[in-house]
């Protein structure tokens, strides 16, 4: 069998009973070895990937609908559909399916043998068809019972459907309906209701095409008016013929399109209003009805989109000043419904749809409509705008930036949207909430594009803050000129809360744009005026705005807050709230707790220095006392930065100094004058006082590490000399806890043996003799309070105790270096 390729779209039915597009490709039928049978294959036209591989199962029911659709179920809850571009392609694949299943291609559905019992198989072989009672008024009850008994069995449903199709039975039933209505035969009408409802549950496209035809659909709706469970019949036909009016705002020349629109509206009405709720049916019972409506809508949108004259006339009349208000309202409502229908299109077709509308000038048309006084027209235009923003926000952003080069700020599309949000007359601000969501989408950097040549984020945000932000913040600035809001009614509070929500979003996502705006316009001070509002939700919005700013830990913001004393409104609100344990109390405490935990030093100092007296009595949480402790620790570090820095370094011993600088630092330490040593303070030579803290701390920490290393080496030297009977060097470091340090001065050190003033003395480089004679001349070096490393630390007490009980003897090389100083 040769492969046949046709262009199709693949759909699957999701859990919400809606068709999802899986892609466009070309279908073929061929034998697949892995599946052991003839199969349908669809390969994507974009990259050739396999979209569908489905074996043509002999027992699967395939349905052909509307000449270009083939629908079937792969599993219990997995429905598939192929939508063909051409009828010829659909017919060819349908013939392949029927050939595999041994069916006549003239039928619209193949045999469904799922779940049939052995008894039904026998019945099927013995009785090829189902014989219906003659269609007479007296036999309506018998017909109703037959339909009801056939529904549980798939095989009997199939036989019943075939019998109804072949005998033209539905039209005969509708003729009896007219007789029953004329005779007011209520019992007969109740039976007809059950029969027609049962036919719906057969889920057959061929039956739907008969029932939804122009000549039958109103009679079908009439049968469904007489529900036996209701005391009175419904008036569905009266509503459809008298109340519901078809308004042809732009003349439609294609009669097929017009008939399709009528049919779709009525079938949608049957599904939504006439039939009982789907929960009373078995799962998937009305899947074909859903599909019928879905593909009708796709076809309508496609036919309208292809009619260029129709769309040109539509937009011309929308923007024509001569068009009266009633006509313009009808045009806008039509366009709104047109966009709503487009939601049924697959993504690539929806792209083409919105591109067509954009080329026709939908955005300039919306700008004209939004500038009108009619609230209903503006509301419909807002809905259309929402479809455009949700579909492609970049398209809207590009339009408004181009528009700004030609028009004033007052008539820009985004500013019109902001003004409608501000002027929303709804007490609950339903429209304003929708518009705020659209604005948020437009200013969200997450959906902005970045290309090699330009960045949409930079361009659009620059435009927005220059041309639109002042319009958005105008109500906020107008209402916060005093120490409390000038208007504090509920609707104004709701509006300001919406504006604050968007500004808070901007603080989080717009970095320097919003920072410059807040600081230059003093926005935070104005926002905090709203902390005095009687509406708690608005006060919390203002607090949340400030909390978001503090959460950034940006010193530009922090300096702005401190310079303007912008904690004052928060502290006032906290004190006015008193002892009440509510959201305001918790939110304010959380903000101060964040400052404490994150150790934001500038804000900690500012809060304690300016507001400690007001907060010191708050003891039910430790937040403010913790802030005070942070502040005191910070002050201590500022007063003694060297102490703080060396304390952390000496404890951790993280740094190592290059070995070549060690000798100089040893000499510096031993040669420091006694008067330079302060209690608990490190000695810094005058030449090093200009060094930064790290330069001062590094030598000492490295010296301590090298000192310990040399102590271990000298122990080995002492051990060797003692074993050989030689006298060990006797330079001693004695640490006493009650005496002041006695360091040999530089002048006395110059007279020591081995000093530069006595060349050739024992122990000098020129006289490598014994150094035992110099023992009596060595001065004892002591430190006050048992301090090791010149600075007192509580953590070093244990080391001090060990040092007091031990004499440390330096090796020859070290003594020579010390004496040479």
Question: Using an 8 Å Cβ cutoff, are 763 and 819 in contact?
Answer: yes
pLDDT in tens, 395-417: 899 898 888 877 777 778 899 89
Q: In 3D, which of 195, 268, 256 has the Cα closest to residue 226?
A: 195
d(CA 396, CA 389): 7
What does the alpha-carbon distance between residue 603 and residue 549 come to, in Å, rounded to a whole number? 12
Higher pLDDT, 525 or 734: 525
Q: Which residue has the higher pLDDT, 712 or 103?
A: 103
Q: What does DSSP say about strands 50-55 and 37-44: parallel, antiparallel, or unpaired?
A: antiparallel
pLDDT range class, residue 786, cuts 50, 70, 90? very low
pLDDT of residue 711: 55
Q: Which residues in 539-565 are b (16+ Cβ under 10 Å) and which e?
A: bbbbbbbbbebbeeeeeebbebbbeee
Q: Taking 80 as the threshold, does the pLDDT of residue 717 lie above it? A: no
Mean pLDDT of all residues in 71-77: 75
Higher pLDDT, 442 or 114: 442
pTM of the predicted protein model: 0.59
Question: What pLDDT score does 628 carry?
Answer: 93
**Three-state SS across 674-692?**
HHHCECCECCCCHHHCCCC
111 against 691, higher pLDDT: 111
Q: What are the distances in angstroms from CA 82 to CA 87, 96, 352?
A: 12, 14, 21
* pLDDT tens digits, one per residue of 250-295: 888 888 888 999 999 999 999 888 887 654 444 456 778 888 888 8
pLDDT band at 75 (very low <50, low <70, confident <90, very high): low
Beta strands in 342-384 (DSSP E): none
What is the per-residue pLDDT for 695? Answer: 45
Separation of alpha carbons 103 and 121, rounded Å = 17
Q: What is the pLDDT of residues 634-663, one digit of tens each?
A: 888 888 766 556 655 555 544 444 444 445
pLDDT tens track for 302-314:
888 888 888 888 8
The residues facing 109 across adjacent strands are: 63
Query: For the CA atoms of the chain, what is the radius of gyration?
Result: 45
* DSSP run (H or E) holding 24: strand 19-32
Token pair, residue 353, equals 């749809």
Contact predicate 519/559, CB 8 Å: no
In angstroms, rounded to a whole number, what is the distance separating the alpha carbons of residues 445 and 460? 10
**Higher local confidence (pLDDT), 695 or 517:** 517
For the cut 80, the answer to whether the pLDDT of residue 80 exceeds it is yes
- pLDDT at residue 173 is higher than 80: yes
Average pLDDT for 605-629: 93
Contacts of 440 (CB under 8 A, 6+ apart): 502, 505
Phi, psi values for residue 550, rounded to 5°: -65, -35
Q: Which residues of 297-325 are buried (b: 16+ CB within 10 A; e: fewer)?
A: bbbbbebbbebeebbeebbebbbeeeeee
Q: H or E stretch including 523?
A: helix 523-529
Pair of tokens at residue 105? 């291609």
Parse the chain into domains and list their residue ranges: 4-101, 139-244, 289-391, 398-543, 553-640
Residue 517 CB: number of other CB atoms within 10 A?
Answer: 18
Query: Does the pLDDT at position 425 exceed 50?
Result: yes
User: How high is the pLDDT of residue 51?
Assistant: 87
pLDDT value of residue 474:
95
Distances (CA, A) of 412 to 408, 448, 499: 7, 20, 19
pLDDT at res. 253: 84
- Contact in structure between 565 and 544 (CB atoms under 8 Å): no
| pLDDT exceeds 80 at position 23 | yes
CA angle 114, 119, 120 (to 5 degrees): 45
Q: Give me the residues paired with residue 386 across strands.
A: none
Tens digit of pLDDT for each residue in 432-441?
Answer: 999 999 999 9
What pLDDT is recorded for position 712?
A: 56
Q: What is the mean pLDDT of the chain?
A: 77
User: Would the pLDDT of 297 be above 60?
Assistant: yes
What's the rounded Cα separation, in Å, for the pair 526 and 533? 12
Give the right CATH number for 4-101 from 3.90.1280.10, 2.30.29.30, 1.20.200.10, 3.40.50.10490.
Answer: 2.30.29.30
What phi-psi label fits residue 522: left (phi over 0), alpha (psi between -120 and 50 degrees) or beta?
left
Place of tokens 């100089």: 664
310-313: long-range pairs with CB below 8 Å, 24+: 310/250, 310/252, 311/356, 311/357, 311/360, 312/360, 313/250
Q: Count the alpha carbons within 13 Å of 708 in the hemisphere toward its beta carbon.
A: 11
């Amino acid at each position: 069998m040769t492969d046949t390729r046709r262009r199709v779209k693949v759909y699957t039915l999701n859990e919400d009973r809606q068709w999802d597009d899986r892609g466009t490709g070309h279908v073929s039928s061929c034998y697949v070895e892995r599946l052991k049978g003839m199969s349908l294959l669809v390969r994507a036209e974009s990259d050739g990937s396999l979209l569908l591989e489905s074996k043509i199962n002999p027992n699967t029911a395939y349905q052909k609908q509307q000449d270009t659709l083939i629908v079937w179920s792969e599993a219990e809850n997995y429905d598939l559909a192929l939508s063909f571009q051409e009828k010829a392609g659909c017919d060819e694949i349908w013939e392949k399916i029927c050939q595999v299943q041994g069916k006549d291609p003239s039928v619209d559905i193949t045999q469904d043998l799922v779940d049939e019992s052995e008894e039904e198989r026998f019945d099927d072989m013995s009785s090829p068809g189902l014989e219906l009672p003659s269609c007479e008024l007296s036999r309506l009850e018998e017909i109703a019972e037959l339909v009801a008994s056939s529904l549980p069995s798939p095989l009997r449903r199939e036989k019943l459907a075939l019998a109804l199709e072949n005998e033209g039975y539905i039209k005969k039933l509708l003729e009896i309906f007219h007789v029953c209505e004329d005779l007011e035969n209520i019992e007969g009408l109740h039976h007809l209701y059950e029969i027609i409802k049962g036919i719906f549950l057969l889920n057959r496209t061929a039956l739907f095409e008969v029932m939804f035809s122009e000549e039958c659909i109103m009679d079908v709706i009439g049968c469904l008016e007489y529900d036996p469970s209701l005391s009175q019949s419904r008036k569905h036909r009266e509503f459809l013929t008298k109340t519901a009016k078809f308004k042809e705002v732009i003349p439609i020349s294609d009669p097929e399109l017009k008939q399709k629109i009528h049919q779709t509206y009525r079938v949608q009405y049957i599904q939504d209003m006439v039939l009982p709720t789907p929960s009373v049916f078995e799962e998937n019972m009305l899947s074909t009805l859903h599909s019928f409506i879905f593909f009708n809508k796709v076809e309508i949108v496609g036919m309208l989109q292809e009619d260029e004259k129709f769309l040109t006339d539509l937009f011309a009349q929308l923007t024509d000043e001569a068009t009266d208000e009633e006509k313009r309202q009808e045009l806008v409502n039509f366009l709104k419904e047109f966009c709503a229908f487009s939601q049924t299109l697959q993504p690539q077709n929806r792209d083409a749809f919105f591109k067509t509308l954009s080329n026709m000038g939908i955005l300039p048309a919306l700008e004209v409509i939004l500038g009108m006084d009619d609230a209903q027209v503006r509301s419909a235009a807002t809905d259309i705008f929402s479809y455009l923003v949700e579909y492609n926000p970049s398209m809207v952003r590009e339009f408004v930036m181009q528009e700004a080069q030609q028009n004033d700020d007052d008539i820009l599309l985004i500013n019109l949207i902001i003004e409608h949000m501000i002027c929303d007359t709804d007490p609950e601000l339903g429209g304003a909430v929708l518009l705020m969501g659209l604005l948020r989408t437009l200013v969200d950097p997450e959906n902005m594009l970045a290309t090699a040549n330009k960045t949409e984020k930079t361009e659009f945000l620059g435009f927005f803050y220059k041309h639109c932000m002042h319009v958005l913040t105008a109500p906020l600035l107008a209402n916060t000129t005093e120490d409390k809001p000038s208007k504090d009614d509920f609707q104004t509070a709701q509006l300001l809360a919406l504006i604050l929500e968007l500004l808070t979003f901007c603080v989080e996502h717009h970095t320097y744009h919003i920072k410059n705006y807040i600081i230059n316009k003093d926005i935070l001070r104005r926002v905090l005026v709203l902390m005095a509002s009687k509406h708690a939700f608005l006060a919390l919005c203002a607090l949340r705005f400030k909390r978001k700013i503090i959460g950034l830990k940006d010193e530009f913001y922090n300096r702005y807050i401190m310079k303007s004393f912008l904690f004052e409104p928060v502290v006032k609100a906290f004190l006015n709230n008193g002892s009440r344990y509510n959201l305001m109390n918790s939110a304010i405490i959380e903000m101060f707790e964040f400052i404490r935990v994150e150790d934001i030093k500038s804000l900690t100092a500012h809060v304690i220095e300016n507001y400690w007296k007001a907060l010191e009595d708050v003891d039910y949480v430790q937040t403010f006392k913790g802030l005070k402790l942070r502040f005191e620790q910070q002050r201590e570090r500022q007063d003694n930065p060297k102490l703080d820095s060396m304390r952390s370094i000496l404890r951790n011993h993280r740094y190592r100094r290059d070995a070549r600088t060690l000798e100089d630092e040893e000499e510096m330490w031993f040669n420091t004058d006694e008067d330079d040593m302060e209690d608990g303070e490190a000695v810094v030579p005058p030449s090093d006082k200009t060094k930064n803290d790290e330069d001062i701390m590094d030598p000492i920490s490295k010296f301590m590490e090298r000192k310990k290393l040399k102590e271990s080496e000298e122990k080995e030297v002492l051990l060797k000399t003692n074993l050989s009977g030689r006298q060990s060097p006797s330079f001693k470091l004695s640490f006493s806890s009650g005496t002041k340090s006695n360091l040999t001065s530089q002048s006395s050190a110059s007279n020591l043996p081995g000093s530069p003033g006595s060349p050739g003395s024992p122990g000098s480089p020129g006289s490598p003799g014994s150094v035992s004679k110099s023992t009596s001349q060595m001065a004892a070096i002591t430190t006050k309070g048992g301090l090791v490393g010149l600075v007192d630390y509580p953590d070093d007490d244990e080391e001090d105790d060990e040092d007091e009980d031990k004499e440390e003897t330096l090796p020859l090389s070290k003594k020579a270096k010390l004496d040479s100083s």
